[in-house]
Structure 1
Amino acid sequence: MLKRILIAVPLVAILGGLALLYALWWGGGAATSQSIIVEEGATLTRLCPGLARKQLIPGTCGTYLAMARLLGSKDSIQAGEFEVPAHTGGARLLELLQHGRPLSRLVTVPEGTPSILVEEKLAAVPYLTGAVPSLAEGSVLPDSYSFQRGEPRGAVAARMTAAMSKELAALWAKRKGDCPVATPEQAVTLASIVEKETGKPAERRRVAGVYCNRLKIGMKLDADPTVIYPVTKGKPLGRRILRSELDADNGYNTYRRAGLPEGPIANPGKASLAAVLDPEPNDFLYFVADGTGGHVFAKTLAEHDANVAKWRAIRKARGEM
């Protein structure tokens, strides 16, 4: 009997130790999911007090760090933001910090967004840090960009401009047609006008073709968005264009000068850039809204005047004039 007791006592101790080991390493965890931020260069030792305060580790930091050294991987923990699911044990927590994927957030720049609004959007993201750099008009490629919590705004802006440089170089190398844009920068300028003039994807190459035709013969582009840009820096005007604005000679107003304006009026998307570098071959010189969100195109001024009259009748019937 005594022999059995002597055997049972160590066995109970072993089982108890294993149970404690399980509780301290594989068990535990907070009752609710939580996010944590790991700064660049942080170590598990430095992070541990914060994990303990959030009840993400069982026991004390000393115990958890000892278990991590004994049973865990020797890999460093990653920087970034991590979502820790409810009831994540100590072992799984270490695996998440070392090899899991940090949370990725998105900031989206729609096609045709002017740089002033891109800057405002970056400034308004609460999870980013640092100042917003000044972004040249036409330097950002509209798209959705991922970022991690705590990342500098300048780093996200740099990805946006790098994406535009890469896309523009690729499209410029494959350019077709005979649109008189001599440089990639001129292509961005014309694409920004196309972007602002039509919201229909199917029309982009045709609108680009019209503007290329005008450039070839030295005809003014007469693009309303170029009149608005110096007034609002690309933001919506919110009213009709004034006669004084149509008459202003400021380097952007294409009603006053033939050729391209002095620079882009927005950040054009890939489709508008591609349209300018491969425009539709056509004989159109004019276009006006058709009342459905698209445009009707004309080869002669007489045809255009008739289309304009129809558009004015539509607006009058809608009570817009």
Structure 2
Amino acid sequence: MSERPPISPRSPRAALEPEQLPPPPRRSERARNPFIVAGNAIITILLIAMLAVGVGYYYGKQMLEAPGPLQEEKIVNIPQRAGKRDIADVLTREGVIDISPWFFIGGVYALKASSDLKPGEYAFQRNASLREVIATIVEGKVVQHAVTVPEGLTSEQIVARLSDNDIFTGSVTEMPREGTLLPETYKFPRGTSREQVIQRMQQAQKRILAEIWEHRSQDLPFKTPEQLVTMASIVEKETGKPDERSRVAAVFLNRLKQRIKLQSDPTIIYGLVGGKGTLGRPIKRSEITQPSPYNTYVIDGLPPGPISNPGRASLEATANPARTRDLYFVADGSGGHAFTETYDQHQKNVARLRAMEKQVQNDTVEPAADDNPPAAANASVDTPTVPGAPRPAAKKPRAPAAAGAKQGGAQQSAQGAPLRNAPPAAAPVQQQ
């Protein structure tokens, strides 16, 4: 066992003083190098920055992916020339987001979309996250509004409809030529100019007409596609039943080939009112013989141009008509028409229609004096005439009118075809 070294006695004063500890070892010259100190500081700062970035990334991702406050799909309009802060304010006001605008701006920068935000009308889905909201605006998939232009309207009527639709901007500087617009259902974003709408309808009409003209029957009495459009515009105004278009077209084409006047009431109306389309009253007998480039009771062949903008179905029916020898047609009392090759058979159909309408009149309760009479089916008015036949002086039965209607219930024309732009209710042709 080793012996402890002897403890030297200390004086009482020394015993009261604190024991001296040995000095710490001196740092090496290398550790005191300023470059080492700076390097350590930089590493520390980087570690803190990385930690901050990691925390920020985690919470930022949570913010981008978290479900939004929308309870149902909503359409919001982002105005033109709106800045990022303006867009954030719009989205907050519309309830699409419920975060600080600065968080939205931060999300835009985080997704590298600061220069890709596009104005327009957008549909934001229910509970859309901030990432989805920004992606919707960046992709520019704006809401498309369906706009339906009915067949048989004149160019003036179509322009009026476009002018009344508030999703479009600007005005139409020049009225499109009749028959150059294709009636169809189109989709446009809000803010589309009306000139662009007209151009698109014209381009669609040119494309469809070229396709139909290429596949037309080779025995048609037309020299140009424009003549086909003119005839199709008459067919369009004469019947609203899809299964009758080709047969109505055949009647008029047969009459053209045999050099018989077309005698179509819609052409008379167009000659009287032009692009306005509607006469607002029955045709007067004096107007049937009134000279006009569009009065097919007076002129031979086709009028100088279309009387409406026909749809694709009427163009196709005119280009490929039914293979019949029909020259006449009259309302059959059920919303359609009876077609015949001879005038005698046509007169029998007229007599049958008169009997049906007389029965309807007998079964109809007379309305009160101050009430408007109902537009009963096949209400009796005037005696129908036929294409190519002398117009009788006696009154003829007419189907009830329905202004602007495409299907059934349209006013009966002179040869028994419906005038869809005639005034409602039946009234006798006025004498003048």
TM-score of the pair, normalised by structure 2: 0.65
Alignment CA distance shift 1:183-1:43 (3 Å): farther
Aligned: 1:213 with 2:254: yes
User: Contact 2:328/2:342 (CA < 8 Å) preserved in 1?
Assistant: yes
* 1:317 aligned partner: 359
Give yes or no for contact 1:36–1:83 (8 Å, CA) kept in 2. yes
Distance 1:211 1:108 in 2: 29
> CA contact under 8 A between 2:251 and 2:327: conserved in structure 1?
yes
State the shift of 1:25 in Å: 2.8
1:1-321 alignment, distance < 5 Å:
17=56, 20-22=59-61, 24-27=63-66, 29-31=68-70, 33-38=73-78, 44=84, 47-54=87-94, 56-72=96-112, 76-99=116-139, 101-133=141-173, 134-232=175-273, 233=275, 235-319=277-361, 320-321=380-381
The one-letter code matched in structure 1 to 2:329 is: F
- Mean alpha-carbon deviation: is it higher for 203-212 or for 307-316? 307-316
Shift, 1:24, TM fit: 4.0
SS in structure 1 of the partner of residue 192 of structure 2: coil
Tell me the CA shift for residue 229 of structure 1. Answer: 1.5
Alpha-carbon offset, residue 318 of structure 1? 3.2
* Aligned amino acid, residue 27 of structure 1: A
| Residue aligned with 1:318, SS | helix
- Name whichever structure is richer in helix by fraction: 1
CA contact (8 A) 2:76 2:94 kept: no
Secondary structure of residue in 2 paired with 1:271: helix
The one-letter code matched in structure 1 to 2:217 is: K
Number of matched pairs:
311
Q: 1:31 to 1:286 in 2, by over 3 A?
A: closer
Instruction: State TM-score, norm by structure 1.
Output: 0.85
In 2 relative to 1, CA 53–227 (structure 1 residues): closer, same or farther, beyond 3 Å?
same
Distance 1:53 1:19, change over 3 A: farther
Given that 1:175 and 1:277 are in contact with CA atoms closer than 8 Å, whether structure 2 keeps it comes out as yes
Q: Is the Cα contact below 8 Å between 2:259 and 2:301 reproduced in 1?
A: yes
Q: Which runs of 5+ in 2 are unaligned?
A: 1-48, 362-379, 382-432
Instruction: In structure 1, list runs of 5 or more residues that go unmatched.
Output: 1-9
Contact persistence 1:64–1:90 (CA under 8 A): yes
Q: Corresponding residue for 2:398?
A: none
Aligned partner letter, 2:347: D
Alignment check: 8 A CA contact 1:24 1:58 kept: no
Sort the Cα spacing of 1:79 and 1:172 in 2 relative to 1 into closer, same or farther, 3 A: farther
Q: Which amino acid aligns with 1:269?
A: G
Distance 1:222 1:65, change over 3 A: same
Q: How many angstroms apart in 2 are the aligned matches of 1:59 and 1:203? A: 61
Identity of aligned residues (%): 38
| Larger Rg, first or second structure (1 or 2) | 2
In structure 2, do the counterparts of structure 1 residues 226 and 25 end up closer, same or farther at CA, with 3 Å as the change threshold? Answer: same
> Structure 1 CA distance, aligned partners of 2:184 and 2:197?
12
Give the drift of 1:224.
1.0
Q: Per chain length, whose mean CA-contact separation is higher, i.e. which structure has more relative contact order (CA < 8 Å, sep 6+)?
A: 1
Cα distance change on mapping 1:236 and 1:310 into 2, 3 Å: farther
Taking only aligned residues, the RMSD between alpha carbons, in angstroms, comes to 2.8
Deviation at 1:117, TM superposition (A): 2.0
